[in-house]
Amino acid sequence: MSDTAVETPATPPPVRRRWGFLQFLFMGVPLLFLLGPCVASLPEQPALWRAAPVVDRYVTAQASEPPDKVAMRTALAELVQITDGVNSVELIQQRAQWRGDLGEYALAAQDWEKVVELQPTTFNLRGFGNACFRAGRMADGVKSWEKAGEKPADAPFGSTVVSRATSEIDRLNGLAYARAIANLNLPQGMAEIKQALAILNSLDTLRSGDVLGESVPGSRGAILDTRGFLLYRLGEFDLALADLEASVAEVEFYLASLGSWQQFFEIHKANTADMRYLRLRYRQHQESPAVMFYHRGLIYEALEQPDRAKADFDRVRELGFTPDEHLF
């Protein structure tokens, strides 16, 4: 997040489980860029400070429309040099994220593995798991997610029954979704998502995201998307489609409330110091809907409805993403 809060639409999105480095991106990068010149005269600058201007150039390239992949790769090459032999969790995370952005999935997974060795938090275990999925290391990805699931669910200080319940929903939903992505142990995934839905249904206040905000991944749309994807993997295409229809209906409403980039820009420009981060934030909002359109498109393909599948895949591209196995 940036130092100046960016408001979200009134209706929260059916959040997919995103575990990128946006927290560092929106908070750490501006600070590093501002403070970096202060130590420019030192004989040997710490890697963190030397990386600051490289990060700034990468963000500029990434926030371009479309993203400037050539400049992004140049920045990545510089970061690789800076971080050679450096055991900074933050910098290795960043290197891993950039490699993933640019399709270097095997190297990204290696970086995340190093991060987990240095700091085996729930966040990092999930990041490693996702990197493994993109690198084709499905069993390793599930194993990392299972390790993350063994840790107590994160609940903020003074948390209520509702917030603790949503943390458990997030844990179960994440485990089930990991199994769906890997196409491994699907019955266990179905059991986990059934339990997540039971918790959600037991809390009358949690109606289609009335309480669940953007930072709490557990909306009904996301959970139904997980169950639908599991059912798709199991070959239950009609049941899968019913779940994805419900998920997509929710994201259609969300996208309408989000509006176009120009509308989003006009609403939030006064409260945003750096428009690059606003552009990246807007793209982040579009990722979860893109995933759900992709899943529904896969189901339409399985049901031999190519026109509808193509329409959903086209929506994914319109949202700025590629409808392939790396989108989840």
Considering the domain boundaries, does residue 52 fall inside one? Answer: yes
Query: How far is 251 from 27, CA to CA, in rounded Å?
Result: 28
| Residues 279-310 as b or e (16 or more Cβ within 10 Å = b) | bbbbbbbbbbbbbbbbbbbbbbbeeeeeeebe
**What pLDDT, in 10s, does the model give residues 47-82?**
889 999 999 999 999 999 889 999 999 999 999 999
Q: Give pLDDT, residue 109.
A: 98
120-to-70, 92, 115 alpha-carbon distances in Å: 33, 14, 7
276: pLDDT strictly greater than 70:
yes
**Average pLDDT taken over every residue of the chain:** 83
Q: How confident is the model at residue 270 (pLDDT cuts 50, 70, 90)?
A: confident
Find which of 32-36, 171-175, 274-278 is predicted with most confidence, using mean pLDDT. Answer: 171-175
267 located within any domain: no
Question: Greater confidence, 201 or 136?
Answer: 136
Report if residue 135 sits inside a domain.
yes
Q: Does 95 fall in a domain?
A: yes
pLDDT at 188 (0 to 100): 98
Q: Report the domain count for the chain.
A: 1
Q: Decide if 54 is inside a domain.
A: yes
- Per-residue pLDDT at 156: 53
The 3-class SS string of 72-130 reads HHHHHHHHHHHCCCCCCHHHHHHHHHHHHHCCCHHHHHHHHHHHHHHCCCHHHHHHHHH
Residue 222 lies in a domain: no
Taking only the tens place, the pLDDT of each residue in 179-223 is: 999 999 999 999 999 999 999 888 755 444 444 433 333 478 999
For residue 24, give the CATH number of its domain: 1.25.40.10
Provide the residue range defining the domain that includes 127. Answer: 17-151
What pLDDT shows up at residue 213? 39
| pTM of the predicted structure, to 2 decimals | 0.78
pLDDT of residue 219: 73
Is residue 89 situated within a structural domain?
yes
Answer for the pair 300, 312: CB distance below 8 angstroms, yes or no. Answer: yes
Q: Is the pLDDT of residue 18 over 60?
A: no
Contact between residue 257 and residue 11 where contact means Cβ atoms under 8 Å apart = yes
Q: Is 45 exposed, middle or buried (0-12, 13-18, 19+ CB in 10 A)?
A: middle
In whole angstroms, what separates CA 231 from the centre of its chain?
22
